Structure 1
Amino acid sequence: MKIFKFGGASVKDADSVRNVSMVLQSQGFSNCLLVISAMGKTTNALEDVVELYFKKDNYQAKIDDVKQKHLEIAHGLFKQNHEVFEEIDLFFNDIVAFLRRNKSPNYNFVYDQVVSCGEMISTKIVSEFLNDVGFTNNWLDARDYIKTDDSYRDGNVNWQKTEQVISALDKSKCYVTQGFIGSENNNFTVTLGREGSDYSAAIFAYCLNADAMTIWKDVPGVMTGDPRKFENVELLSNISYEEAIEMAYYGASVIHPKTLQPLQQKNIPFYVKSFVDPSAPGTKVGASEINEHRESFILKENQDLLKICSRDFSFIAEDHMSQIFNLLAKHKIKVSLMQNSAISLALCLEDKFDVLDELNAELQESFETQISKNVSLFTVRNAKLENIDRFYREKNVLLEQIAKNTLQMVIQ
């Protein structure tokens, strides 16, 4: 069975949805499962709805705006009396009804119940369109298949339950389902983290023992750098799972960090290809004798640099490290880079839940701290270190680290 994942850019409007059917025609639409993201910038718009809801502002107007955009896409794909319009109404009515009756003050819980609707609506539109043009498929609610704990906005997959349910699917049929979402024991929606649709595809691939998984992007494949941020980048035709995992960890936006591990465990080939030119070879990630190790550049933005020092100039010892990392785990703050000296610890952090100030307040009970916000982590993989000076030009470097052939800088 094949797993195809289409992101928001690949279904952003009616023409894009039609292009999905053209991609499938070129690849062969049989024994496959499609994982599809919310359309265009829908996730951002629904995040705005949640913000307005908690500010007790007029969120209804924003909901109406998002609904209108989906109706415009649907009108470009279906006849006026198509049943999909009723489905769209139902999904948006569900958002409004939930917000009206909700009593929970938990931001993350409310976020997941609202923002997940983008994937539900998107997949219903795509599934109905594909059926209409002859690509017969069954629409699945991913929340019935991917089971998680109740860590809202960052769900942890219950692999035993998930594999049990997904593996029972009839592999002779085709399916369309959502990325990014699952559900906890009480069947409330839990999202898998921002940009988690790639991870969803990998979960289905693992549980179905897929022959291959392909992610369709608006770029030719995995490049030696994001072409929007770096000049003269090139396509990487073949890279290993290990190299892809490293690149994802350091912030390569084309691959979600959690995606690779389930695929590697079952040696499932993973392709990154262009939906603009589906005939192009793209990038293959997996075991190969021709894997490339070219100099690659990654810029991970929206980071924070936290420097921690002992108050009495004593060493940052094991007990201090344990205390610090327990607090990081408590606040779900990810460490992107760490560097320690005798009396200090520097951490480049990713604060996706906006709780760094809370962490800092707790740390200041025991330590001296200093924060530089909104910095970037610049990483060079397979760096040619004989000409290292070129990487420092026109950069304000706050922290640097070299490990083997990987150079990293925190820059402002």
Structure 2
Amino acid sequence: MAYSLLVMKFGGTNMQDARAIRHSASLAGRSVREGIRVVVVVSAMAGVTNALLKLADAAQAGDIAAANDEIAAMRTRHFTAAQELGASPDSATVREIREMHETLRQAVYGVYLLRELTHRSRDLIVAFGERLSAPLMALALEQSGLRAHHLTGGEAGILTDAHFGNAKPLPGTYERVKDRLSGVLSAGVTPVVAGFMGETDKGATTTLGRGGTDFSATIIGKALGADEVWAWKDVDGVMSADPRVVQDARNIEVLSYGEVMELAYFGAKVLHPLAVTPLQESGIPLRVKSAADPDFPGTLVQADALDDGRHPVKAVTAIRNVSIINVSGAGALGVPDVVASLFAAIARENITLLMVSQSSSMSNVSLAVQSVDAERTLGALRSAVTAELQVEEQAGVAVLAIVGSGMRGQRGVAAGLFSALAQSEINILMISQGSSELNISVALDGTQVEEATRAVHQAFRLGELPAAVH
């Protein structure tokens, strides 16, 4: 296919040092030299996002020395990369990196003084990872002989709501992005956008949730009517299982938007769960490619799944560190307004539910949430229900899911899943199947999740046969 416009997203491992950045720039540059207009969207250097979260927490706890040590190490890392990419000590890139680290230090010191880390402050701090990597990518492109210009997500036009930490784009975003980036492209300049971030209509920095650089790339792809969005990763594409757990995991050639959303939601780290949503309306394909093997086609994500009818399951994935919150009490849960109050309390706290189950007697509701959200969930539910209802946490759980559009109407898929788990003597704590029939998910003991993943992968022969057939 002849491309005219591509959006290319580069993840943290492809931005982790000067060598990786230079290689990523060469991948973008290869297309630019073929006459293709390219928008580059970058993640923070590998490990920087976690370091920023850590230093923000240290400042809140009053340990400003630890926070400053982390900032100093980060500054050295970015300066080193800039120098190795060819920037002189008095260059604009080095000055900009120095100024950004000073602004970061001031923001962190404010958290230390107040001993308060709001969601808004956390977003401002954590977005520095992408803001610092964008100038480095622009520098690498310029050193290779191309013209480049870097922007924050907000400068690129990404306008979001004020749900700090998990913001969503507002409808006006797409026109803003088109207005701001089209001129840069038409001037023969490659835009480099700091991913993962946007801004509110009042100019406050927001983030799109962990992995949000994928989301940034697809928002831009839709806005500009790109031919495809390419997500460059350190894997061959979307795999049939985590290759660190299952040795014979295979690359999946083709997935539908719905399938990849299910996989991302249920723990596959390869994409942000909402990444494909901007593309669905316009039908723009997303391609997950390997930076180590750029000529390998990777995984194509498009509107339609390609199923051969014989292999209904395409992949097995899992979420670790899950807690089941059980709400129980004699009959009171059968009253509609009681159940409504549970979900209203969850919604107020902006907590993501992974699974929901209610007993037929209506005396028990079980909710699966990430363990990091368990304490907030317990507090929210206990304040929302009457004293006769018990709210208890069952920690140390994992959720395993099988995904595939071929499961619709196919007999025996659930039986195959349950048989594989039973033969491995794995107990199921909770079961759920989405109405779309794209997935079946089960909660189980977290210590057994790897064994369960291997058993299910083998039972559906996902390693032996192509996961998608043309």
Shorter-chain TM-score range = over 0.9
- Who is 2:139 aligned against? 128
Cα distance in 1 for residues equivalent to 2:122 and 2:320: 23
Mapped pair 1:9 → 2:17 = no
- Who is 1:299 aligned against? 318
Q: Give runs of aligned pairs for residues 91-102 of structure 1, distance below 5 A.
A: 91-101=100-110
- Who is 1:370 aligned against? 392
Mapped pair 1:226 → 2:242 = yes
Cα distance in 1 for residues equivalent to 2:427 and 2:250: 27
- Who is 1:61 aligned against? 69
Q: Choose the corresponding residue for 1:345, options 352, 365, 379.
A: 365
- Who is 1:325 aligned against? 343
Deviation sequence 1:45-100 (CA, Å, 0-9, x none)? 01111001100102111111111121222222124333322111111001112233
Q: Give runs of aligned pairs for residues 21-36 of structure 1, distance below 5 A.
A: 21-28=25-32, 30-36=36-42
Q: Choose the corresponding residue for 1:83, options 76, 84, 92.
A: 92
Tell me the CA shift for residue 288 of structure 1.
4.6
Deviation sequence 1:159-184 (CA, Å, 0-9, x none)? 22x12311113243421011110111
Cα distance in 2 for residues equivalent to 1:91 and 1:79: 16
SS in 2 for 1:335: coil
Cα distance in 2 for residues equivalent to 1:279 and 1:239: 19
Tell me the CA shift for residue 229 of structure 1.
2.5
SS in 2 for 1:118: helix
Are the counterparts in 2 of residues 37 and 178 from structure 1 also a CA contact under 8 Å?
yes
Tell me the CA shift for residue 385 of structure 1.
4.2
Structure 1, unmatched stretches of 5+, are none
- Who is 2:211 aligned against? 195
Q: Give runs of aligned pairs for residues 155-304 of structure 1, distance below 5 A.
A: 155-160=167-172, 162-168=173-179, 169-170=181-182, 171-172=185-186, 173=188, 174-288=190-304, 290-291=306-307, 293-304=312-323
Cα distance in 1 for residues equivalent to 2:386 and 2:30: 61
Q: 1:101 to 1:405 in 2, by over 3 A?
A: closer
Cα distance in 2 for residues equivalent to 1:5 and 1:31: 14
Are the counterparts in 2 of residues 333 and 352 from structure 1 also a CA contact under 8 Å?
no
Tell me the CA shift for residue 286 of structure 1.
0.6
Are the counterparts in 2 of residues 360 and 369 from structure 1 also a CA contact under 8 Å?
yes
Tell me the number of residue pairs that the alignment of Structure 1 and Structure 2 aligns.
410
Are the counterparts in 1 of residues 325 and 393 from structure 2 also a CA contact under 8 Å?
yes
Tell me the CA shift for residue 357 of structure 1.
3.9
- Of 288-297 and 179-188, deviating more is 288-297
- Of 348-357 and 271-280, deviating more is 348-357
Mapped pair 1:72 → 2:80 = yes
Q: 1:182 to 1:351 in 2, by over 3 A?
A: farther
Q: Between the two proteins, what is the percent identity of the paired residues?
A: 24
- Who is 1:49 aligned against? 55
- Of 275-284 and 142-151, deviating more is 142-151
Structure 1 residue ranges, 4+ long, deviating more than 6 angstroms after superposition: none
Tell me the CA shift for residue 118 of structure 1.
0.8
Tell me the CA shift for residue 306 of structure 1.
0.7
SS in 2 for 1:50: helix
Q: 1:317 to 1:255 in 2, by over 3 A?
A: farther
Are the counterparts in 2 of residues 240 and 291 from structure 1 also a CA contact under 8 Å?
no
- Of 258-267 and 381-390, deviating more is 381-390
SS in 1 for 2:293: coil
Structure 2, unmatched stretches of 5+, are 408-412, 446-470
RMSD, aligned α-carbons: 2.2
Whichever structure has more helix as a proportion of its residues is 2
Mapped pair 1:398 → 2:440 = no
